[in-house]
Amino acid sequence: MDDTTPEFRRLMSERFRALAPQERVRMCAEMFETARLIVEASLPQGLDSDERRYRICRRFYGDLADRAFGRR
């Protein structure tokens, strides 16, 4: 779904290009952290730390998590 007008897309692109590289990195890191917190909140309570890490990794990286954690 693409409900953003070309004019607004251009405006946002210009704004992001105007940011310093370190500011862009900071914004991306903050967005990733927010996404991670949302994923963590969706997990069942009582998981041990290894299972919790696996499930977070699985949500973000799919089948690569199985390889990284030696599963399947």
Place of tokens 């699985």: 58
Q: Residues 15-62: pLDDT tens digits?
A: 999 999 999 999 999 999 999 999 999 999 999 999 999 999 999 999
Q: Is the pLDDT of residue 1 over 90?
A: no
Q: What is the dihedral of CA 30, 41, 63, 46, to 10 degrees?
A: 140
Q: Residues 61-71: pLDDT tens digits?
A: 999 999 999 98
Q: Where are the domains of the chain?
A: 6-68
The residue count of the chain comes to 72
